[in-house]
Amino acid sequence: MSGPIVMMMLDSLADAYVQRGDAPYFQSRIPDGNYVSLKSIFAFEGIMAAVITGKWPDDTGVFARFAYGPSESVQRLNPLRALNLVDKHAYYADGERRDSRQNFPAVKAVRKLLKKYWITGGFNNLTPYGRLPLALAHYFRYSMILGAYDQTLQLAGYQTLFGLADQLKKPKFYFYGKLGDAKCRLEQAGNLNDYGIIFIHTWSHLDTEGHNFGPEADEIRQMTRDCDTELSQFLPWLETRAEDASCVLFADHGMHPVHSTIDVGDLVTQAINGEGALVFVDSTAVRAWGTEAQIERVRTRMTGVDGVQILAQSDLEARRAYFPSHEYGELFAVAAPGHVFAPDYFVGWDLRKGMHGYFQDSDWLRPALLWYGPAFHGNSITPKNMTDIHTLAESAMILKTGETQRA
């Protein structure tokens, strides 16, 4: 009986980490399979959508976590918006003060209530994943595909890998978290050989700490080795449960050392005061909306800044990230590898020592991709970017079931 296609998204496993020997077990599997470093795509949250559909951001409509859309923003219902009357500069959308001062007890109580009952309709994800100035949050809708990906059978009309498993009448499995917890879940999943796809997204702490320490730090090198040791225990166990499994182990991005922080606090302040363009700062991108005059002022402000490039429509089209309705930005200013913008929605003013970026290729930013197993024997596909991961997995799923047709 043929085994499942096992896809493991190893968050932030850069090819550079593999090449310098920080993942010896991962590297030991390369001779029996195929290995490449990938060129990432220009997208923030759109990468996972590209992997599960094989389509680019301008097809799926999934590019970044936040998009412009006041009428669709749950923040227009957030009771914390009353804090704007107190100090519209001071608070994030989850009620935290941006200056780190202790909140009033009443505010803390409201925040606790919001977290417990999800009154804001999902914007509580701002707490673990990032924060927006409260005075601007109601301009944005949360555009990330929410929920477990195994519930996403179609995305923007395109079949996902999980939808393909459904079509092939095969069970599917999705897990986000630590490998030890994934093992516990899989032990309860029945016969793994029956599954069409097992998708595990793990190592998020390697990404988080990569931002804090930078990819050259001893702490990250040790953490990578620890993650690799985890993998060396998990994969052999999984392969005893699913003897003919075929594996696709990949990262979504690498991690570049940061040597320059570009201060765009004046643009954020002007936006909060209603004196300039609306801006969203995404670590390696500043996106702006406004009148022609407001956009031109942002363009003038960012032009000539070291490490910054303003993207023309042709640039966005070439990267398959042009959205005619401008929900993701009327102006894109992007930072070259090694540069980041601050403050951003993710960490405010905290300094970053490492950052992944998608606009410009570099050895640091290239993610690792390893694939092996019986479903890939004779496979002639040579992946170059993130959408090709889908091509690998899709062809293997069809091959292993003997199917030749799909909807």
Q: How far apart are CA 150 and CA 166, in angstroms?
A: 10
Q: How many domains does the chain have?
A: 3
The answer to whether the Cα torsion of 281, 285, 286, 291 is positive or negative is negative
Question: Both 152 and 216 in a single domain?
Answer: yes
339 has a pLDDT exceeding 80:
yes
238 has a pLDDT exceeding 50:
yes
Question: Both 84 and 177 in a single domain?
Answer: no
3-state secondary structure of 131: coil
Question: Both 229 and 81 in a single domain?
Answer: no
Phi, psi dihedrals of residue 6, rounded to the nearest 5°? -100, 115
Q: What is the 3-state secondary structure (H, E, C) of 269-297?
A: HHHHHCCCCEEEECCCEEEEECCHHHHHH
Phi, psi dihedrals of residue 365, rounded to the nearest 5°? -90, -10
Residue 395 belongs to a domain:
yes
Given a contact cutoff of 8 angstroms between Cβ atoms, the answer to whether 29 and 370 are in contact is yes
Of 346, 371, 389, the position where a domain reaches its end is 346
pLDDT of 114: 65
Question: Both 222 and 244 in a single domain?
Answer: yes
Task: Give percent above pLDDT 70 in the chain.
Answer: 91
Question: Both 96 and 215 in a single domain?
Answer: no
Question: Both 237 and 171 in a single domain?
Answer: yes
Question: Both 245 and 104 in a single domain?
Answer: no
147 has a pLDDT exceeding 70:
no
Strand pairing of 66-68 and 140-142? Answer: antiparallel
Question: Both 40 and 93 in a single domain?
Answer: no
69 has a pLDDT exceeding 50:
yes
Question: Both 54 and 160 in a single domain?
Answer: yes
CATH number, domain at 28?
Answer: 3.40.720.10
Given a contact cutoff of 8 angstroms between Cβ atoms, the answer to whether 54 and 394 are in contact is yes
Residue 264 belongs to a domain:
no
The answer to whether the Cα torsion of 30, 34, 36, 38 is positive or negative is negative
Token pair belonging to 373: 């197993």
Q: What is the pLDDT of residues 74-127, one digit of tens each?
A: 778 777 788 888 888 888 877 777 666 666 787 777 777 766 654 444 444 444
Residue 69 belongs to a domain:
no
The answer to whether the Cα torsion of 192, 193, 199, 205 is positive or negative is positive
Q: How far apart are CA 44 and CA 63, in angstroms?
A: 6
Q: What is the mean pLDDT of the chain?
A: 88
Residue 44 belongs to a domain:
yes
Given a contact cutoff of 8 angstroms between Cβ atoms, the answer to whether 280 and 40 are in contact is no
Strand pairing of 308-311 and 246-250? Answer: unpaired
Strand pairing of 260-263 and 339-342? Answer: parallel
Domain extent for 330: 273-346
271 has a pLDDT exceeding 60:
yes
Question: Both 200 and 53 in a single domain?
Answer: yes
Q: What is the pLDDT of residues 192-233, one digit of tens each?
A: 999 999 999 999 999 999 999 999 999 999 999 999 999 999
Find the mean pLDDT for residues 350-378.
Answer: 90
pLDDT of 98: 67
pLDDT of 109: 78
Residue 353 belongs to a domain:
no
404 has a pLDDT exceeding 60:
no
Find all residues with CB under 8 Å of 168, minimum gap 6, and list them: 196, 397, 398, 401, 403
15 has a pLDDT exceeding 90:
yes
pLDDT of 146: 60
Of 119, 138, 157, the position where a domain reaches its end is 138
Find the mean pLDDT for residues 55-75.
Answer: 91
Residue 86 belongs to a domain:
yes
Of the candidate ranges 94-103, 164-173, 265-274, the one whose mean pLDDT is the lowest: 94-103
Question: Both 122 and 175 in a single domain?
Answer: no
Of 94, 117, 138, the position where a domain reaches its end is 138
Q: How far apart are CA 85 and CA 89, in angstroms?
A: 10
Of the candidate ranges 3-17, 27-41, 270-284, 345-359, the one whose mean pLDDT is the lowest: 345-359
Question: Both 201 and 341 in a single domain?
Answer: no
Residue 265 belongs to a domain:
no
Distances from the Cα of 260 to the Cαs of 111, 216, 331, 340, 343, in angstroms?
A: 34, 16, 22, 7, 13
Token pair belonging to 54: 């094989």
Find all residues with CB under 8 Å of 293, minimum gap 6, and list them: none
3-state secondary structure of 335: strand
Of the candidate ranges 21-30, 34-43, 104-113, 185-194, the one whose mean pLDDT is the lowest: 104-113
Helical H runs in 196-310? 204-213, 218-241, 265-273, 292-302
In this prediction the pTM is 0.91
Of the candidate ranges 71-75, 129-133, 212-216, 312-316, the one whose mean pLDDT is the lowest: 129-133
pLDDT of 119: 47
Q: Helix 292-302 and helix 265-273: axis angle, to 10°?
A: 160
